[in-house]
Amino acid sequence: MTMVPGTVRPRRLRTTPALRRLVTETRLHPADLILPMFVKETLSEPAPLTSMPGVVQHTLDSLLEAANEAVDAGVGGLMLFGIPEHKDNEGSQADDPEGILNRALTLLRDNLGDETVIMADLCLDEFTSHGHCGVLDASGGVDNDATLSRYASMAVAQARAGAHVLGLSGMMDGQVAACREALDLEGFTDVVIMAYSAKYASAFFGPFREAVDSELQGDRKTYQQDPANGREAMRELDLDLAEGADVVMVKPGLPYLDVLAEVACESPVPVWAYQVSGEYAMIEFAAAAGAIDRERAIEESLIAFKRAGADAVLTYWATEVAQRLNSEQSGGAR
Residues that bind ligand PBG (CB under 6 A): 121, 123, 125-126, 133, 169, 205, 208, 220, 276-277
Is 12 assigned to a binding site?
no
Measured CA to CA, the distance from residue 196 to residue 123 in angstroms comes to: 11
Is 51 assigned to a binding site?
no
Is 220 assigned to a binding site?
yes
Measured CA to CA, the distance from residue 47 to residue 159 in angstroms comes to: 28
Segments in the chain forming alpha helices (H): 17-22, 60-72, 100-112, 144-161, 175-185, 206-211, 231-242, 257-266, 277-288, 294-308, 318-328
Measured CA to CA, the distance from residue 216 to residue 299 in angstroms comes to: 32
Comparing CA positions, the residue from 121, 41, 43, 110 lying closest to residue 80 is 121
Comparing CA positions, the residue from 131, 259, 240 lying closest to residue 196 is 240
User: Which CB atom, from 26 or from 286, has the smaller least distance to ligand PBG?
Assistant: 286
User: Which CB atom, from 194 or from 276, has the smaller least distance to ligand PBG?
Assistant: 276
Contacts of 50 (CB under 8 A, 6+ apart): 210
Smallest gap from residue 277 Cβ to ligand PBG (A): 3
Is 209 assigned to a binding site?
yes
> Which active-site residues does the annotation give?
199, 251
User: Which CB atom, from 21 or from 249, has the smaller least distance to ligand PBG?
Assistant: 249
Smallest gap from residue 64 Cβ to ligand PBG (A): 22
Is 236 assigned to a binding site?
yes
Smallest gap from residue 178 Cβ to ligand PBG (A): 17
Smallest gap from residue 51 Cβ to ligand PBG (A): 10
Residue type, 33: L
User: Which CB atom, from 126 or from 236, has the smaller least distance to ligand PBG?
Assistant: 126
- SS3 state at 153: helix
Binding site as annotated, residues for Mg(2+): 236
Binding site as annotated, residues for 5-aminolevulinate: 209, 220, 277, 316
